[in-house]
Chain A
C-alpha cells in the first residue's frame, strides 16, 4: 500500500508532493491585460482609394537605391515605369519564394486578400499595371538576349568575386549590410561564411569561365572588363540602350550593376576599386548611370 494513501488530508495516490504544489501555485506570476484583436494599422479606407504597393528589397531605407543588384534592377524599373510604390527593407526569409525582391499589393477593401508577386513574375505584373512605355525594345531579339547574358555571366561573376569572395570586402562591406538585422558576432560570421560559399559555388558553376577548373580573380575582372567594353560600344552615343526613346528593363539592369560598382569603389575597398577600374574607362556608361540616378533617384 502506498504511503500517500494513508494521509487523511489527501485522498489521491496521484497527488503531487507538497513542494511542487507550492511552486506551481505561484504561477502565473504576472497576468497581462488581454491584447486587442488584430487590426490593420490603417483606418478602413474608402473603397475607391488606390491599393498600396510595397516592394520588399535588401536595404533601401526611404527609397534609397538597394544594395543588391537584382533588387535595384526592379526598384529602378518600377520607377522608370512610373509605378506608385514604396520600398520596405527586408530579408530573404520574409519572401515566399526565398528570394528578394517581391511585391505585395494590398487592397483597401479588407475582404480582398493582399496579392504577392515574386521576382519571376514582376515583369509581367509591371506590364499589366503600369502605364505603357515608349520603350519598345524587343526582348526576344537575338542581340538583346546575347547582351543580357553578359550581365548574367561575366559581370555577375566579377561582382560576386569582389563583394563576397574577397575576404576583406566581405567582412567590412558586404556582410554588415546583409546582416544588419542581427548584428551579433557569431551570426554575422556564420552568414558571411555561407554567403562566401554560395558565391564560390556560383562562380565555379558559371559558364563564363568556359569549363576552366581553376580561375583567378584577375581573370574574372578581365572578363568583366571585356563585357563593359562591349556594352559601352552597344550604347554608343545613344541616351538609352538599343536606341530606345525611353529607359527600359535593360537600362535598369545595367544601371543596377554600374551604380553598385561605383558605390563599392567609394567604400575604399581594394577589390571594389579593381572591379570599378574596368568600368571607369567607359564614359558613356558612367553618364548613363548618372542620367538614371538624376531622373529617378534624386
Chain B
C-alpha cells in the first residue's frame, strides 16, 4: 500500500497534520514492510481532493477516518488499535476526533500560515523546496487561503500578530526619524509595542488553553497518562492529537508563540507528544517515488484548474453533490463549455489588465528625467529605511548612472504611484 502525503518538513514526516496522523496510525497498526510513504504532493490523486490518500492497487481511500476504516476491514480487525475499547470509549473516539479537529485546526493554521512572519520566512519558502516552478506559487497560495478562512473568527488576533513592534520605525515621518528627533519618545513607543505583545500573548495562551486544558484533564483522569483514553496502548485519537500537536511543538519558527507557551505552561502535554513521537514517526518507514502518472505535473494541474476557473472567476457555485456519481457526472460537453468559459475569462482578464496598466508603465520607463525621482519615490513607498530616502533625494546624481530596470515586480502588482 502507498500512503500519499504532503512533503516532510520541520524534522517531521509531513507538514500537514492529517497526513501526520495517518502516518502515525499506519506506523502503529501495521508492519513497516506492508506500506510505503510517497511524497507525491499531488492532492488531485485523492478522491476527496485532499491528502492523505491511501493507494491499494487501483483503489484510492482518502482521509484519515476512511483510511483507518479501510485498513481495519482489510486486516479483518487485527490492525484495529481501538479494538480493546469499551463502547463508551468508542463513542469518545468519535467525539474527540471532531473536538481535536475543530479546536486545533485554527491554531495550527494560525501558527504556520497566518502569522505573517512565519509564513513569509518559513512556510512559504518551504513549499518551493519541493514543488517546481509554476506550481510553487499556486499550491501554497491555496493552502494559505484555506488557513485564512479557518482563522477568520480570530481576525483581531491575526491583526495583532501582523503588527508586532519592529516595523513601527518605518512608519515614523521621514523628517523626524532622519534627524533622530523622536529618539526620546522611542522608548515609550517600544513600551507600547511590548505591552501590545503581552496582551496578544495572553489571548494566544487562552486560545491554546481552550484545547489543552480539557486534554490535560482527560490525560490526568486516565490510568495510563500517556494515552488520551487511558488505555495501555495508543488509540486513533492519540494519532490525530499527536499529528496536530507536533506541528505546534517541533517547528522552529521566528514567531514561536505556540512552542513557547506550550513549553512554559503545558510541559506535560509536550512530554506526552515527546513520548509518543518515536513510536508514531519511526525512522524505519520506507519511502518510494511516485509512480508514473501519480507525480505532480503541470498538465494535470492545469486541466483541473481550467475546469475550476469559472467558479473561481465568476463566483459560480455548483453546490455539493449527493453522492460520488454526482461528483463525476458532468458530461464532456459541459466540461468543455466550462473550459472555454474559463479560458475566455482568463484571457479577458489578462487583456483588461494590460489595457489598464500597460500605458502607465510605458510612460514611467520612457521618461528619462523622471527616472531618479521615480527611483526615490519607489524606495519611499517601499518604506525600507528612512536613510535610503535621504540618499535618494540628495544624491540623485549618483543614481542617475544606473539604468532603471525595464521590468519591476511592483508594476506587476499594480502598485502604481
Q: Which A residues contact B (CB, under 8 angstroms)?
A: 140-143, 145-147, 149-150, 152-154, 161, 165-167, 196-197, 200, 203, 205, 207-220, 226-227, 229-234, 236
Instruction: Tell which of B65, B94, B102 touches A227, judged by Cβ atoms closer than 8 Å.
Output: B94
A contact patch SS: helix
B250 at the interface (CB under 8 A from A): no
B48 at the interface (CB under 8 A from A): yes
Q: Are A207 and B91 in contact (CB under 8 A)?
A: no
Which residues of B in the span 70-129 have a Cβ within 8 Å of any Cβ on A?
A: 87-88, 90-92, 94-96, 98-99, 101-103, 105
Minimum CB distance partner of A220 in chain B: B320
Q: Which of the 9-residue segments B210-218, B254-262, B392-400, B409-417 touches chain A?
A: B210-218
Minimum CB distance partner of B240 in chain A: A210
Minimum CB distance partner of A196 in chain B: B319
Which residues does chain B contribute within 8 Å of A152, judged by CB atoms? 102
Instruction: Tell which of B16, B91, B149, B213 touches A229, judged by Cβ atoms closer than 8 Å.
Output: B91
Which residues does chain A contribute within 8 Å of B402, judged by CB atoms? none
Which residues of B in the span 17-37 have a Cβ within 8 Å of any Cβ on A?
A: 18
Known contacts: A207-B150, A210-B18, A213-B48. The answer to whether A146 contacts B317 by CB under 8 A is no
B337 at the interface (CB under 8 A from A): no
Q: Which B residues contact A (CB, under 8 angstroms)?
A: 16, 18, 43, 47-50, 62-65, 87-88, 90-92, 94-96, 98-99, 101-103, 105, 146, 149-150, 152, 213-215, 217-218, 221, 317, 319-324, 326-327
A218 to B327, CA, bound (A): 11
Q: Are A203 and B95 in contact (CB under 8 A)?
A: no
Which residues does chain A contribute within 8 Å of B213, judged by CB atoms? 140
Q: Are B49 and A212 in contact (CB under 8 A)?
A: yes
A288 to B217, CA, bound (A): 29
For residue B209, give the distance in angstroms from its CB to the closest CB of chain A. 11
A217 to B47, CA, bound (A): 14
Q: Are A214 and B49 in contact (CB under 8 A)?
A: yes
Minimum CB distance partner of A236 in chain B: B88
For residue B120, give the distance in angstroms from its CB to the closest CB of chain A. 23
Known contacts: A216-B327, A217-B320, A217-B322. The answer to whether A211 contacts B95 by CB under 8 A is no
Q: What are 27 A-B residue pairs whose CB atoms fall within 8 Å in the complex?
A: A142-B217, A142-B221, A143-B95, A146-B95, A146-B214, A149-B103, A150-B94, A152-B102, A153-B98, A200-B317, A205-B150, A207-B98, A207-B102, A210-B101, A212-B63, A213-B49, A214-B47, A214-B49, A215-B48, A216-B320, A216-B324, A216-B326, A217-B322, A220-B320, A230-B92, A234-B91, A236-B88
Q: Are A214 and B214 in contact (CB under 8 A)?
A: no
For residue A151, give the distance in angstroms from its CB to the closest CB of chain B. 9
For residue A206, give the distance in angstroms from its CB to the closest CB of chain B. 9
Q: Are A146 and B150 in contact (CB under 8 A)?
A: no
Which residues does chain A contribute within 8 Å of B218, judged by CB atoms? 142-143
Number of residue pairs spanning A and B whose beta carbons lie under 8 angstroms apart: 119
Instruction: Tell which of B91, B101, B214, B217 touches A233, judged by Cβ atoms closer than 8 Å.
Output: B91
Q: Are B99 and A146 in contact (CB under 8 A)?
A: yes
Minimum CB distance partner of B220 in chain A: A142
Q: Are B50 and A226 in contact (CB under 8 A)?
A: no
For residue B24, give the distance in angstroms from its CB to the closest CB of chain A. 15
A220 to B50, CA, bound (A): 16
Which residues does chain A contribute within 8 Å of B324, judged by CB atoms? 216, 218
For residue A156, give the distance in angstroms from its CB to the closest CB of chain B. 11
Q: Are B63 and A210 in contact (CB under 8 A)?
A: yes
A48 to B403, CA, bound (A): 87
For residue A4, give the distance in angstroms from its CB to the closest CB of chain B. 52
Q: Are A218 and B50 in contact (CB under 8 A)?
A: no
Which residues does chain A contribute within 8 Å of B150, judged by CB atoms? 205, 207
Instruction: Tell which of B50, B90, B91, B326 touches A213, judged by Cβ atoms closer than 8 Å.
Output: B50
Minimum CB distance partner of A166 in chain B: B322
A215 to B50, CA, bound (A): 10
Q: Are A149 and B149 in contact (CB under 8 A)?
A: no
Which residues does chain B contribute within 8 Å of A213, judged by CB atoms? 43, 48-50
Most chain A CB within 10 A, of B18, B92, B149, B320, is at B320
For residue B59, give the distance in angstroms from its CB to the closest CB of chain A. 17
For residue A251, give the distance in angstroms from its CB to the closest CB of chain B. 16
Which residues does chain B contribute within 8 Å of A154, judged by CB atoms? 98
A127 to B1, CA, bound (A): 55
Which residues does chain A contribute within 8 Å of B103, judged by CB atoms? 149
A219 to B323, CA, bound (A): 8
A154 to B99, CA, bound (A): 11
A105 to B103, CA, bound (A): 35
Which residues does chain A contribute within 8 Å of B64, judged by CB atoms? 210
Instruction: Tell which of B65, B215, B319 touches A142, judged by Cβ atoms closer than 8 Å.
Output: B215
Which residues does chain A contribute within 8 Å of B49, judged by CB atoms? 212-214
Which residues does chain B contribute within 8 Å of A231, judged by CB atoms? 91
A149 to B210, CA, bound (A): 13
A216 to B66, CA, bound (A): 14
Which residues does chain A contribute within 8 Å of B321, judged by CB atoms? 216-217
Minimum CB distance partner of A144 in chain B: B214
Known contacts: A207-B150, A213-B49, A234-B88. The answer to whether A229 contacts B94 by CB under 8 A is yes
A192 to B186, CA, bound (A): 55
Which residues does chain B contribute within 8 Å of A232, judged by CB atoms? 91
A219 to B150, CA, bound (A): 21
Known contacts: A197-B317, A230-B91. The answer to whether A140 contacts B43 by CB under 8 A is no
